[in-house]
Amino acid sequence: MKKITWAFLLLLFINFSGLAQDKELAPVTGTVAITNVTIVPEPGKKIDKGTVLVKDGLIEAVGANVKVPPGARIVKADSMHLYPGFILGLSHAGIKMPENKEAQNAKVEDPGNPPNELAGITPERKVYQYLTMGEKSVSDWREAGFTVAQTVPSGGMLPGTTSLILLGGNTDNPIMKAETGLYSTFDGARRMYPATVLGVMAHYRQLYRQADQAMNYSNSFQEDPSGRKRPAKNRTLEAFYPVVKKQIPVFFQAEEVLDAQRAMLLKKDLGFDLVLTELKEGWDLVEDVKSSNSRVQFSLDLPDWDEKKKDSAKTEKNSEEKTQLEKRKQEFLKKYYSQMADYASAGIQFSFSGIDVKPQDVQKKLQKIVENGLSTDAALQALTTTPAQQAGMEKSIGTVEAGKLANLLVSNKPYFEKDAKIKYVMIEGKLYEYDLKESKKPDAEVMDIVSGEWTFEADTPAGTMTGTISILKDEGGDFSGSIYNSVTGEEKSLRNIRISEDVLSFAFSVTYQSQNMDIETSLTISGESFEGFMEIAGSGESFPVEGNKVPSKSK
Amino acid sequence: MKKLSFILLIAIIGVCSAQNPKAEGGSFALMNATIHTVTNGTLENSNLLIKDGKIARIGELGSLGADVKKIDCSGLHVFPGMIDSGTSLGLVEVSSVDRTDDSREIGNVIPHMKALTAVNPNSALIPVTRVSGVTTVLTVPEGGLFPGQAALINLHGYTPDQMSAGFSAAVMNFPSSGKRGWWDRRSDEEIEKETRENMKELADIWTKVEQYHELDSIKANGGTSVSMDYYPEMKALLPVYRKEVPLMIEVNKEKDIRKALEWVEETGVRAILTGVEEGFRVADEIAEAGIPVIVGPTLSTPARDYDRYDRPYTNPSDLMEAGVKVAIRTSEAENVRNLPYNAGFAAAYGMTEEEAFKAISIIPAELFQVSDKLGSLEEGKQATLFISTGHPFETSTDVEHVFINGWKIPMQSRHTELYEEFLQRSPGLEK
Amino acid sequence: MKKQLIFIMILQFVVVSIWAQTKKGEVLIKNATVITITDGTKENTDVYIKDGKISKIGTDLSASSNATVVDATGQYVMPGIIDAHSHIALDAVNEATSPVTAQVWVGDALDPFDVSIYRALAGGVTISHAMHGSANAIGGQNETIKHRWGTVKMDDLRMEGAPRTIKFALGENPTRVHGAGNNIVPRTRMGVEQVFRRAFSEAKEYMESWDEYNANKNKRGYKGMAPEYDLQKEVVADILRGEIIVHCHSYRADEILMLMDVFKDYGVEKLVFQHVNEGFKVAPELAEFGAGASVFADWWAYKFEVYYSTAYNAAILTKNGVTTSINSDSGELIRHLYHEAAKTQKYGDLSDDEALKLITLNPAKQLGIDDRVGSLEVGKDGDVVIFKNHPLSIYAVPQMTFVDGVKYFDISDDQDDMRIYVDPSEDIDVMRSRTEHEKCMANAEWFLTN
């Protein structure tokens, strides 16, 4: 009986559930005016107290004296700052690769000549095959101010062909440009050719030259088929044709300085257009990049720059050695963040890629880069006009001007200033609004204790629900976890696990009577127990929860 | 006739060389040698009498009996046999062939495993080693926390007992806090946890040894009511606990050395630290604790990328200068013959020649409680020594004779035999 | 006037572009005992290096004011040591996925950050032969590198103009990896032979079909398809054309003879055996073929195929007229190759010059660079090392090492931490680092790389 009431209550809330993380404002009209805002329409320009008028996804007018037509929705952005929506140079945003466990453990008969699929040689893969706009990565990048991304499947040395997509707006039609580049990495295959960087380099040369040869023959065949053998159909080689014809560049993932040199070596040998992407260690390569006529996308997954940890050395003995080592580490830390300024002053244009970085860390990293010498104008260029040009799309995106796609972001302070927060993101006229709540640093004690098993008891309107929560911290400091509850008897994984001061929050979904609902949880941890509440997303209805840590078993 | 005797002669020689030569016993007088006593300086133009396996006399020998075989040593040098304080000689024949490797038994705490049991007196590696003047080695089991007991052996004898040089000691691999290698994907947290667990296991073991010691003491004092089950692990650790024998603690990383020093202080065991790769970082603390070390191999690469390139060469002298008693080892099996060069590099990088030679002679003899028999040339000690054309640290030096326990060792090994056979191969190219 | 200016500008540009290739130095070493290798040992002699080349050897030499002047009174100068077999400065050693991987090239995997390079310099080694591992019967192409420490550029390590070389391997390693590991020929030494014969024959066919295509393609009306490009066969074909020196990992006498027979059948002549622990057994055959031998000083018994070996190998080979070198194959031994060479005086009583040739002129010959390096002669590269004490003494301590007249090691100027890049996120307490990772990877594949 009690259970039935509980279920009834749940059902009541279902209508309110399932909202996206960023609370979308339902469009009533296609005309929106953002008013009284400081506009940076393009790097180096500024309009005080201006208005941006958007109509049906395009920018209608920009300026200080724009007339707002009656019926337009007005978004007052007093004292806020408006920028062109950011463009991400390369990422896996929205890509959901099928899990293929069989392939991962496959043992091929001849490891020297494995099927391309297993060896990571799939340049023919296209973004549309794997794009899922509901992926969290899409909303996360959007929340970080990015409106357009170049995106690509992942896995192996030739994971696929890149596309330019919108990170919101009309999600039924997200692809702006289908084939923008060939994505390449130095990742070898597992226990089959090419397994190491040696194999990858050699095989790249082989495939490229074979593609060149096959393309030429196929052209001759088309011109004059009589007397010629019919060319073999080879999807792998065909994917190289637009690269060989220099219609699209190769985006080579090259994080380390040696990988970047290897990519340039291949460019020298084979002659393709090269974009070094996800570059982390580029400070010694300014001249090489310039003379080889390569282009650059810097990674934003740069090493953490914590303000001095006061680690009072336990042993005085080697303090001199340690000081010296610490000094060198600091010196190199700086190089990661100051290299962009060097490239800018050498006149090399660059954008940013987001293969590894967490979208929520991007702003912090960019601010650090600006702190280390890159002008905010140059930084903005790297986020807007340069990637637009690199993709050949500068006529529709990259600046705030009439006729362009209404891709914008609005922040409460100048974006590169400390504590600046994004309030609005607009993609093709669709407005996304965000909270300006401050997130606080996690409490050290809580960080220590949070990993492990917890039992919980929730006091729902219908009675007591019990279960277990397990939280795992991986090497990179990211959390993952799962929750089991006694009511539905399901084990579900946790999403959006965050720790702010002593509060652990996460979301999970439960399926009840084939209805899916999201539950947001917020728990205050104190010692080995917690108290808090769970909320059925969007309903405003919440109920108290408490729980305790399960002591970890020693082996 | 003449021809016939010549053929006969050849035949006899052929038979002789086909036979494995035996060691030669008896009394020997080494005449007119430069004698490096190690403990009493160097004697020019002096003599040494070997009798009954011992050094009977050094100096003027007086009249010698007809049975004494004289060896003219003018221009030659006599040194005590070199002692390698850490090898797997006798336990390992071909390291990549598992079936020939007896250095690792199953189990984490197996201090009752005895290396001496598995020493193969017929290992081809033994003659190769001893003809270079390395006469005595500590052979050490490998593996977990307590992998067994190391044994000091002389490199001559037909049974392990004949080879035994009268010392054995339990070995301990101190829990390591570092990554084991590139493949070690454990996070820092996991490593710390594992180290903590290992330290806890060590503490547990020590509590058990303490209990075992108490029971054993009661029993020894006539406590007939005490019954003690078969517990070979505890029995093997008892003399260590009672400080009757030293414990050889293998430890290399700075942090771990510090922890090991703490543990030694807590338990009061008679410790010898072995390996001690980063000893130079903790030299003063080791000196203060008064614990001797066995370092090496000297010929190895620095532990950290940011270490000075010659750290392994200078580690022995850094430790010695801080006041630590230092012996040198190779940690080898087939390359134990390079012991003098491991010491030689220590001499080239900071130690004096005498100090470095002590680290492979009298100091190990002291550490292994056999300095009454080995490690220097003194009357009454075992005649375990070698005669060479110069100092053994130099590769231009040839070792001419080796004596172990008074036995004159044949200067032959697989390597010399192959040299003699193949220097001028016959037939050559013709069929 | 204007013309002159332009001329100077052009000149500057040319000079700058030469400098941008690799640095060349000027140095005058005074009053040393000079071990020339090819022209005896000269007391109280000066060596003058200009623009990276040995310019003069003699007494009372003078230099320009730009030169580094070193007073080497009481010290020894010898040519930079050359290691004909190493795996330092490499990010990857084995592409162990197939018995034939001629298409791969370790020059693609050079790692100028490997601190082993500096440590080798500190042992007087100026050139090493960075080799592919020995997992495959036909492994990858190697790279001869100069130890120009401090650069971050892969290209700066390459010894410009050095001949191409490739790694072959016999015996336990390829049979273990492919036969035992993947159930692919070769599992035995019989199979190894056939791998070579097949690869050579197929490359020959490939060459012939290209020759045919090239002969016809410009003829009117020719509509044939070109043979499909195959990088592996291209490389094996270059071996058949004599453009690549083969360096073959080998141990047993029978397999050494087998490879020479195969090479005779296909007319391949440039051959150096590596390790070649049983080379002493077939020294007359090696000498007759003209094959080189690059050996360990005393390594043996680490695997079954080296159980019947002798440290007298180098001496026996040398005395039988085989061009012999001593190599390291190790980031440890490479730091004291002078000591490894010195062991031949214990095992076979080689003379000083014979012993030193094993680590200078002979490896240079085996790498095809003896016209450039390996002895102190006017016109050769300014690769030299200065020793305190004779290099064959245990008390030898390298003091300074020069490559192309540029000083890359100076014992009095060593900074302890010589890393080029530092990983800001590494924990300094842990004995682990960027390059150790790479090295240990090679060590873990130890049975593959030796």
**Contact criterion met (CB below 8 Å) for B283 and B315:** no
**Contact criterion met (CB below 8 Å) for C50 and C57:** no
* Chain B: residue whose CA lies nearest to A554: B197
Q: How many domains does chain C have?
A: 2
Poorest-confidence range of A455-469, A498-512, A527-541, C425-439?
Answer: C425-439
Beta strand pairing call for C27-35 and C68-71: parallel
First to last CA, chain A: 44
Round to whole Å and give the CA distance between A369 and B309: 36
B139 CB contacts (<8 Å, ≥6 apart)?
B87, B88, B89, B90, B91, B115, B116, B119, B150, B151, B153
Whether residues C124 and C239 share a domain: the answer is yes
| Domain segments of chain A as ranges | 2-20+440-549, 115-134+151-162+174-305+324-396
Residues of B whose CB is below 8 A from C441: 182
Round to whole Å and give the CA distance between B380 and B54: 6
**Contact criterion met (CB below 8 Å) for A110 and C178:** no
- Please indicate, yes or no, if residue C107 is contained in any of the structural domains: yes
Query: A258 in contact with C at a CB cutoff of 8 Å?
Result: yes
- Please indicate, yes or no, if residue C153 is contained in any of the structural domains: yes
The β-bridge partners of B404 are B407
Most distant pair of Cα atoms in chain C: their distance: 77
Round to whole Å and give the CA distance between C420 and C148: 12
- Asked if the Cβ–Cβ distance from B282 to A555 is below 8 Å, we say no
Q: What is the ipTM of this complex?
A: 0.94
A543, two tokens: 């109920």
Round to whole Å and give the CA distance between C376 and A406: 72
Of A317, A318, A555, the CB nearest to B197: A555
CATH topology of domain A115-134+151-162+174-305+324-396: TIM Barrel (3.20.20)
Of A199, A227, A325, the CB nearest to C97: A199
pLDDT for residue A254: 98
C266 CB contacts (<8 Å, ≥6 apart)?
C200, C204, C240
- Asked if the Cβ–Cβ distance from B281 to A325 is below 8 Å, we say no
Higher pLDDT, C160 or A508: C160
Chains with at least 3 CB pairs less than 8 angstroms from chain B: A, C
Q: What stretches in chain B show pLDDT beneath 70?
A: 1-20, 179-185
- Asked if the Cβ–Cβ distance from C92 to A198 is below 8 Å, we say yes
Query: C24 in contact with A at a CB cutoff of 8 Å?
Result: no
DSSP H stretches of helix in B268-359: 283-289, 311-321, 339-348, 353-358
How far does the CA of residue B267 sit from the closest CA of chain A (Å)? 23
- Please indicate, yes or no, if residue C30 is contained in any of the structural domains: yes
CATH number at residue C185: 3.20.20.140
How far does the CA of residue C441 sit from the closest CA of chain B (Å)? 7
C417, two tokens: 């931490």
Round to whole Å and give the CA distance between A548 and A388: 52
Query: C284 in contact with B at a CB cutoff of 8 Å?
Result: yes
Helix/strand/coil for A88:
strand
CATH topology of domain B82-180+230-374: TIM Barrel (3.20.20)
Categorize the per-residue pLDDT at A174 as very low, low, confident or very high, splitting at 50, 70 and 90: very high
- Please indicate, yes or no, if residue C6 is contained in any of the structural domains: no
C219 CB contacts (<8 Å, ≥6 apart)?
none
C279's torsion region: left (phi>0), alpha (psi -120 to 50) or beta?
alpha
pLDDT at A314 over 60: no
Domain of C290, in residue numbers? 81-371+423-449
Whether residues C202 and C131 share a domain: the answer is yes
Whether the domain at A2-20+440-549 and the domain at A115-134+151-162+174-305+324-396 fall into the same CATH topology: no
Residues of C whose CB is below 8 A from B415: 300, 309-312, 347
pLDDT by residue (tens digit) across B53-83? 999 999 999 999 999 999 999 999 999 999 9
* Chain B: residue whose CA lies nearest to A318: B281
pLDDT for residue C444: 32
Mutation target among B97, B185, B276, B305 for the C interface, most CBs of C within 10 A: B305
pLDDT by residue (tens digit) across A182-217? 999 999 998 899 999 999 999 999 999 999 999 999
pLDDT for residue A20: 41
* Chain C: residue whose CA lies nearest to A318: C429
Q: For A2-20+440-549, CATH number?
A: 2.40.128.120
How far does the CA of residue A15 sit from the closest CA of chain C (Å)? 48
Categorize the per-residue pLDDT at A480 as very low, low, confident or very high, splitting at 50, 70 and 90: confident
**pTM of the shown model:** 0.88
> Over the Cα atoms of chain A, what is R_g?
26
Round to whole Å and give the CA distance between C75 and C33: 6
pLDDT by residue (tens digit) across C154-193? 999 999 999 999 999 999 999 999 999 899 999 999 999 9
pLDDT at A9 over 50: no
Amino acid at position A497, single letter:
I
Mutation target among C101, C108, C113 for the A interface, most CBs of A within 10 A: C108
How many helices and strands (H and E) does chain C possess? 15, 17
pLDDT at A297 over 90: yes
- Asked if the Cβ–Cβ distance from A555 to B284 is below 8 Å, we say no
3-state helix, strand, coil in chain C (%, to 5): 35, 25, 40
pLDDT for residue A478: 76
Round to whole Å and give the CA distance between A404 and A396: 5
**Contact criterion met (CB below 8 Å) for C269 and B413:** no
Whether residues C202 and C319 share a domain: the answer is yes
Q: How many residues does chain A have?
A: 555
Most distant pair of Cα atoms in chain B: their distance: 87
Q: What stretches in chain C show pLDDT beneath 70?
A: 1-20, 428-450
Of C315, C395, C431, the CB nearest to B304: C431
Whether residues C76 and C86 share a domain: the answer is no
Chains with at least 3 CB pairs less than 8 angstroms from chain A: B, C
- Asked if the Cβ–Cβ distance from B281 to A317 is below 8 Å, we say yes
| Distances from the Cα of B47 to the Cα of B29, B60, B380, angstroms | 7, 6, 15
pLDDT for residue C240: 98
Whether residues C27 and C125 share a domain: the answer is no
| Domain segments of chain B as ranges | 22-80+375-431, 82-180+230-374
pLDDT for residue A440: 64
CATH topology of domain B22-80+375-431: Urease, subunit C; domain 1 (2.30.40)
pLDDT by residue (tens digit) across B287-303? 999 999 999 999 999 98
